[in-house]
Amino acid sequence: MRRFLAVTLVAIAACTASARATSLNAKDFGAKGDGVTLDTAAIQKAIDTVAKTEGTVTFAPGTYLIGSIFVKSNVTLRIDKGVTLLGSQRLSDYPVMPTRIAGIEMSWPAALVNIYKQSNASIDGEGTIDGDGKIFWDSYWSLRKGYEPRGLRWAADYDARRPRLIQIFDSTHVHLGGALSLRRSGFWTVHICYSTDVTVDGVIIRNNEGGRGPSTDGIDIDSSRHILVQHADISVNDDALCLKAGRDSDGLRVNRPTEDVILRDSIVRDGAAVVTIGSETSGGFRNIEAYNLTGLGHVGVGILFKSAHTRGGWAENIRIHDITLTDVPVVFRITMNWNPSYSYAKIPDGITGYPSYWKVLATPVPEDKGRAHFHDVLISNIKATGAKTAFEVDAFPEMRLDHFSFKNLHIEATIAGHISNAKDWTFSDVSLTTADGSVVALSDDSDITGIASREAPPNQCKPNPAMKSSAEQDKN
């Protein structure tokens, strides 16, 4: 009897919830879907109405021109096949609001589609979210062209305001996916920041259409925890699957790690790297697992860790395994002095009236807090063919890369490359075949066993990235 009563109560609760759930079509609130009329207000009204109970906002087939919209708690935004949400090219259609951008807390235009301080919200379907972002790409390059001769390369990414495609900010229990097509983002495509229990399952990201936009990252996970990303298909012009945790003094102040993250079962066709940790490392990384990932020939690096000597932070318990790379030029790259012209902000003498966030960016970080400490990393089951270089690894003598284990590596590359500043690195079951017959060059402070190597002449292993042009430094 008790069991029957319990089942009955569950059934009644389910029916009540089903009755409460609402499905509303945006056209019933005045959305035109003609690709010309700005439909932001109509769609937002539909979302707000559904949010009073719970349910789904749907769309009739069409192209809906919009600025920023905000998905609320207990609402699903369902974008079916045949539906496109097209981003406005007017920056005024994206309200400026508090967020975090490239590692610092600041006000910035909202994304095209936002889940901002909400819970139990979803964006799914087989339709398209198209940022139409080239106008924002061009505005960035125009501003940067004027900034670089003035020693302001580092400020360009913050002053050239470009809307992200999707922002999930300070939210919990969020789902994004369902074979959504995400195109031509003006800036980062999916930004998950200060959020918990987020699943991204089934997104197709295509940003290199009509050009190659700057900083069009695929999926950025930023000081967030309990995140799952799977079944992603990515073509971008920067990092594809990227973990971040704050920049320099502001990131150290916030001190919020990215942790308990799984990246799996995805393919990267174009981008800076398949999986990236950094360069915003200040808050640290813990319990990260990436596996069953594929990288193809337009991707620059397979596994990329990057930081700077003002970032600080740490990474621990990192597990990356079962990675297949075909014609990816660099298999492993670790650089702790990444992109100096961007990483090290200095306000030139004589400049006044600058925005407050310039001062935040230029706040000095004590040397003892500035070196990131990466340790306890396991990398296994890596198959790479058609590579140019197997290893490009550089840290600092005073903060070496500590306790890395490599197992079951099968790499075919033109050259072996180099490893500097490594402590307690072990290799087992390694097949490294190089076209020039080279073995890995080691700095004199590297402690490595299990792989053929030679001691490199002084300074051979330590290229100075500051000697490269800004464009070359941007290439990770």
Q: What are the backbone dihedrals phi and psi of residue 309, each rounded to the nearest 5 degrees, phi first?
A: -80, 5
Task: Tell which phi-psi region holds residue 274, choosing left (phi > 0), alpha (psi between -120 and 50) or beta.
Answer: alpha
Q: Are 273 and 303 in contact (CB under 8 A)?
A: yes
pLDDT tens digits for range 304-321: 999 999 999 999 999 999
pLDDT tens for the chain, residues 1 to 476: 344 334 333 333 333 343 457 999 999 999 999 999 999 999 999 999 999 999 999 999 999 999 999 999 999 999 999 999 999 999 999 999 999 999 999 999 999 999 999 999 999 999 999 999 999 999 999 999 999 999 999 999 999 999 999 999 999 999 999 999 999 999 999 999 999 999 999 999 999 999 999 999 999 999 999 999 999 999 999 999 999 999 999 999 999 999 999 999 999 999 999 999 999 999 999 999 999 999 999 999 999 999 999 999 999 999 999 999 999 999 999 999 999 999 999 999 999 999 999 999 999 999 999 999 999 999 999 999 999 999 999 999 999 999 999 999 999 999 999 999 999 999 999 999 999 999 999 999 999 999 999 987 765 556 677 667 666 777 66
Cα gap 297→307, rounded to integer Å: 25
CA distance 375 to 308: 16
Tokens of 204: 């197709």
Cis peptide bond upstream of 279, omega within 30: yes
Going from the C-alpha of 170 to that of each of 37, 40, 62, the distances in angstroms are 31, 23, 31
Distance CA 207, CA 447 (A): 41
Q: Which of 121, 139, 131 is nearest to 192 (CA)?
A: 121
Q: How far apart are CA 197 and CA 256, in angstroms?
A: 16
Q: pLDDT at position 18, please?
A: 39
| pLDDT per residue as tens digits for the range 384-426 | 999 999 999 999 999 999 999 999 999 999 999 999 999 999 9
The pLDDT tens digits for 8-43 are: 333 333 333 434 579 999 999 999 999 999 999 999
**Helix/strand/coil for 475:** coil
